[in-house]
């Protein structure tokens, strides 16, 4: 989110929401992914209300590049999972990466992404659908 206080607020709100919903959580879903869903939703909501945009750009120094932070330090389970997700994202077509980047990582709506990419909204929806399907099969294949 780029602003520390906003990020802390979002994290606190998200944990509280998770805590309140805990008795009703679907046991089949991973808790961490569930929490991330909440965090993303609240972060995007706050950014849109403040008419701000995060500064996440895909490129050579972007988080999606593999092995950009591998170092001599011990590789933890979290780092391995992060690498797996980044590899999965890198396996998407360029068109699918673009819509994921604009909507998920940059908080755009499908209408805004369509306008930026100069493609119909329906095409954005379709690419997002295909992208998530591809990622799901990739994650399922890896597990």
Each residue 9-28 as x (binds another protein by CB under 8 A) or -, in order, gives: --xxx-xxx-xxx--x-x-x
Burial 6-33 (b: 16+ CB within 10 A, else e): eeeebbebbeeebeeeeeeeeeeeeeee
Assess 97 for contact with another protein (CB under 8 A): no
Q: Restricting to residues 40-69, which ones interact with another protein according to CB under 8 A?
A: 40-41, 44-45, 56, 63-64, 69
**Locate tokens 């206080």: which residue?**
5
Q: Is 117 in the site for another protein (CB under 8 A)?
A: no
| Nearest of 107, 9, 94 to residue 55 by alpha carbon | 107
In the complex, what is the shortest distance from the CB of residue 17 to another protein, in angstroms, rounded to a whole number?
A: 6
Q: Does 92 bind another protein (CB under 8 A)?
A: no
What residues contact residue 120 under an 8 Å CB cut-off, 6+ apart? 114
CA distances (Å), 26 to each of 14, 18, 23, 33, 34, in order?
Answer: 17, 12, 9, 12, 9
Return residues touching another protein (CB under 8 A): 4, 7-8, 11-13, 15-17, 19-21, 24, 26, 28-30, 32-37, 39-41, 44-45, 56, 63-64, 69, 78, 81-82, 85-86, 89, 100, 103-105, 107-111, 113, 122, 124-126, 128-129, 131-132, 135-136, 139
């Amino acid at each position: 989110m780029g602003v520390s206080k906003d990020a802390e607020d979002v994290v606190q709100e998200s944990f509280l929401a998770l805590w309140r919903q805990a008795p009703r959580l679907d046991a089949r879903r991973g808790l961490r992914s569930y929490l991330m869903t909440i965090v993303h939703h609240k972060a995007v909501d706050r950014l849109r209300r403040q008419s701000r945009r995060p500064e996440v750009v895909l490129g050579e120094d972007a988080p999606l590049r593999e092995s950009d932070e591998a170092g001599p330090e011990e590789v933890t389970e979290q780092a391995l999972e992060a690498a797996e997700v980044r590899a999965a994202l890198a396996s998407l077509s360029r068109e699918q990466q673009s819509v994921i980047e604009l909507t998920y990582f940059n908080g755009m709506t499908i209408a805004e992404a369509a306008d930026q990419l100069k493609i119909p909204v329906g095409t954005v929806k379709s690419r997002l659908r295909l992208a998530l399907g591809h990622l799901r099969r990739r994650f399922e294949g890896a597990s």
